[in-house]
Structure 1
Amino acid sequence: MTGWDARGVRTRIREMAAEDPGRERFGADTHRYELAPPVPEAEILAFEEAHGIVLPREYRSFVAEVGDGPAGPCHGLLPLTVPRPEAGDEWAVDDEWQEDRLPGRLALPFPLTAPLPGPIRRPEAALTQGTLTLAERGCGMFLRLVLNGPRRGEVWQIDPDWGGFVPASTGFRAWYTAWLEGP
């Protein structure tokens, strides 16, 4: 199943916002339970063509049908293509997001077939090739979507200081749904 119940997701996010008016839930002060409009199909195709990839179906259908972040796990779902300003502030694109968009990087093979325990002693850029940053957890930890190879579609967490680079979820849908249904 790849399609999303966009109305259901938006309703759940509104419920979460109503249940957390003080934005006490982790990351809520960053994403503010706001959901950007979906990305037009032409923009998704242009992104895929420019990077020589095909996005995993669960993620692709989410940004096409539901929205392009930021409401989501951790400090929120990063946008696929164009950073969007938040509450009138200029959106600061972090290094991870910019690194993902380097020419050819997303099409490179994901180098891991098994978890890599931390701390990480190799250059991070070599480990994260073939993955797309989904969210920042904080303290240098990021969630990344594997774009190719035997782990395609899985969400992995990289924590270079302690946790290594390990699977966090079997797929984007499971990862995002766990956030929607979580405490």
Structure 2
Amino acid sequence: MESWDEGGVRARIREMAARDPGRDRFGADTHRYELAPALPETEIRAFEEAHGVDLPTEYRSFVAQVGDGPAGPGHGLMPLTTPRPEAGEEWAVDDEWEEDRLPGRLAESFPLTESLPGGTGAPADELTRGTLMLADEGCGIYIRLVLNGPHAGEVWRIDTDWGGFVPVSPGFRTWYTEWLQRP
């Protein structure tokens, strides 16, 4: 399994929080620079088995070694498993998050072989099969992790009105690390 420096990630997030006490940075008022505990291997495996998927290694190792959200890009990293209200994660449970967890949806084939321009009128439900929502950027724009097919492991942004569905990062580690390194 790919390794993350949990202490380094958490230290950087504390540094980011110290530099933004008013939580003025986009999304900080939602994720509050907090990381939930890492998930036990049994919980991750149960999720994979329930949905018939193997999570991409970079993401799987993050939730197993560092935490299950929320500090992260956009309004924060969505929890893999059921959000914990005591941890302030009730914001994550919306229609998009729940739709991801419908039986069989994550195991379906990701339908795109290349970027799709915005304004095509293609229904988001059709485009997001085989992907897991990572973050909400607001205004109906979501960041999704491709779970299967030739683009498995890539991170894509979906904005069906204007931006289409396009790759934004070759993998979870790059996507998350770029957020950590932003000034």
TM-score (norm 1): 0.96
Return the alpha-carbon distance in structure 2 between the equivalents of residues 120 and 86 of structure 1.
40
Q: Deviations over 1:143-173 (max 9, x none)?
A: 0000000000000000011000000111000
> Which amino acid counterpart does residue 33 of structure 1 have in structure 2?
Y
- Superposition misfits of 4+ residues, deviation over 3 angstroms: 86-92
Residue matched to 1:149: 149
What displacement does 1:124 show? Answer: 1.1
What displacement does 1:89 show? Answer: 8.0
What displacement does 1:120 show? Answer: 3.4
Q: Deviations over 1:30-57 (max 9, x none)?
A: 0000000001100000000000000000
Residue matched to 1:111: 111
Does the CA-based 8 Å contact 2:78-2:92 persist in structure 1? no
Q: Does residue 16 of structure 2 align to residue 16 of structure 1?
A: yes
Alignment of 1:1-183 (within 5 A): 2-85=2-85, 90-91=90-91, 93-183=93-183
How many residues end up aligned between the 2 structures?
183
What displacement does 1:86 show? Answer: 6.1
What displacement does 1:92 show? Answer: 5.5
Return the alpha-carbon distance in structure 2 between the equivalents of residues 97 and 169 of structure 1.
21
Return the alpha-carbon distance in structure 2 between the equivalents of residues 10 and 98 of structure 1.
28
Does the CA-based 8 Å contact 2:26-2:74 persist in structure 1? yes
Quote the sequence identity (%): 74
Return the alpha-carbon distance in structure 1 between the equivalents of residues 90 and 169 of structure 2.
31
Q: What secondary structure, in the 3-state scheme, does the structure 1 residue paired with 2:85 have? A: coil
Q: Deviations over 1:127-151 (max 9, x none)?
A: 1000000000000000000000000
Q: What secondary structure, in the 3-state scheme, does the structure 2 residue paired with 1:21 have? A: coil
> Which amino acid counterpart does residue 121 of structure 2 have in structure 1?
R
